[in-house]
Amino acid sequence: MLKTLRDLPQIQTLLDQPLIKKLEAQLGHAQTVAALRGIIDQARAELLDGAEVDLPAFDSYQFADQVKDIINSANASSLKPVINATGILIHTNLGRARMAPEAVEAMQAIAATPSNLELDLNTGKRGSRHTHVEELICALTGAEAAVVVNNCAAAVLLSLMATAAGRNVVASRGELIEIGGSFRLPDVIAQSGAMLREVGATNKTRLSDYAAAINEDTAVLLKSHTSNFKIVGFTASPERRDLAQLAKENDVILMEDLGSGVLIDLAQYGLVDEPVVADILKSGVDLVMFSGDKLLGGPQAGIIAGRADIIDDLKSHPLMRAVRIDKLSLAALEATLRLYRPPHDPTLKIPVLQMLSEPLETIRQRAHELSHKLTSLGIIDVEVFESACQVGGGTLPEQDVASFAVSLALPAMSPDQFAAQLRQSVTPVIGRIKNARTIFDLRTVRAAEVPLIVAAIAKILSP
């Protein structure tokens, strides 16, 4: 028992204990000292607070174990798997899309060995990393050409820089979006060296507004997906087809930042309003940009597809090198894109689409399974209810996806305290809180994760 500051030992005294000496030999001087300092500093703070401090004897196994635990937890991975029970399918804070096993395997293989990343195996000459996915993207979207960069934000920046630096970009006032992480379209346009020419009003922009804004300095008409909000009511914006016609007549480029970008029609799952990339290109848009890790369900990447002459300019632009995709993401993207082609069914193979299309009945059963297991742990106040999921990732802001969730309340712990403990589990569990209840949504939880949630809760209830 330590009662006064004078009872605190010197770090060197602790280092001289045989058990601590052994730890130091195993785990290093710096880490051992840091752990000892942590213990002593905390004890000092508690003593200053007027408390007595109960530490194991400094020469005991118990004390050495405590030091070892501190070192081990400081060495644990910071980035680790968590369970997404939020009901948001593409959760930006939780790493967005989970990838298909095929994509993960492709990444592992390419990570572990040399590859033909930039070697043409036919000629033996230098190749381009872009060739590995370009044909696939073209086949899936009908584009003439395509190129892939680090993410969609980079895709937008590169596209604008290469086509409109020093010239004008015309965009509707209703589409000058911020998507979060301080990505604001007007700022990105400014960064690209282009001048923004805003047209129309927040709710209505007509073809004639675009037409009136075009002059000899105009390089691009830019459309963008209003990813995370929706203007409803008295609204208007021109059809893509008409904008494309206007762009063509004036020899300017029509570009669209799609954000998510879907390759298959999701209307069959009740999700409308998310246009398919192929249809957008067919309507005459010259260039589209979209993310690899939103509804496409692959790795972080920014895909640019459209007119071959523009894509050529992008490939040779000096910024390209700075924003190019890395080999691991490229491997994962290629594998993901292949799952969109026969004989595969993307809705069965790609986790994001799998989760989106999973029958409600299966989710209901999973919710009941979780609820039963929680009841078996002795939790009394547990309920299953029909919930609403969101797609997230800045897509389909207005449209909920039906789901089932488990909600619970613990007598001895507030939902905030419970959430804090769930976050500290070996596999942290991230749910949500509503009306003072903890909620786990089962559309975003895979069957194999249910036992992990139960184990985490069991440990919290009886540590």
Ligand X SMILES: *Cc1c(COP(=O)(O)O)cnc(C)c1O
Give the residues lining the site for ligand X (CB under 6 A): 151-153, 156, 179, 224-225, 227, 257, 259-260, 291, 302, 394
Provide, rounded to whole angstroms, the least separation between the CB of residue 153 and ligand X: 3
Q: Which is nearer to ligand X, 71 or 155 (CB)?
A: 155
Show the beta-strand stretches assigned E in 42-125.
Answer: 83-84, 88-90
Type of residue numbered 282: K
Provide, rounded to whole angstroms, the least separation between the CB of residue 126 and ligand X: 28
Residue 171 is inside which H or E element, if any? strand 168-172
Q: Which is nearer to ligand X, 227 or 403 (CB)?
A: 227
**Count of Cβ atoms closer than 10 Å to residue 149 Cβ:** 27
Q: Which is nearer to ligand X, 137 or 406 (CB)?
A: 137
Provide, rounded to whole angstroms, the least separation between the CB of residue 256 and ligand X: 9
Provide, rounded to whole angstroms, the least separation between the CB of residue 279 and ligand X: 17
Cα–Cα separations (whole angstroms), residue 208 to 68, 89, 212? 71, 39, 6
Q: Which is nearer to ligand X, 264 or 289 (CB)?
A: 289
Q: Which is nearer to ligand X, 61 or 229 (CB)?
A: 229
CA distance 211 to 206: 9
Provide, rounded to whole angstroms, the least separation between the CB of residue 99 and ligand X: 15
CA distance 329 to 323: 13
Provide, rounded to whole angstroms, the least separation between the CB of residue 53 and ligand X: 48
Q: Which is nearer to ligand X, 202 or 375 (CB)?
A: 202
- 273 conformational bin, left if phi > 0, alpha if psi -120 to 50, beta if neither: left
DSSP-assigned states of every residue in 311-349: HHHHHTSTTHHHHBPPHHHHHHHHHHHHTTSTT--HHHH
Q: Strand order of the sheet with strand 218-224?
A: 145-149, 302-306, 287-291, 253-259, 218-224, 168-172, 195-199
3-state SS class at 458: helix
Provide, rounded to whole angstroms, the least separation between the CB of residue 393 and ligand X: 6
Q: Which is nearer to ligand X, 43 or 295 (CB)?
A: 295
Question: For 116-123, which contacts have Cβ atoms below 8 Å and span 24 or more sequence positions?
Answer: 117/327, 117/330
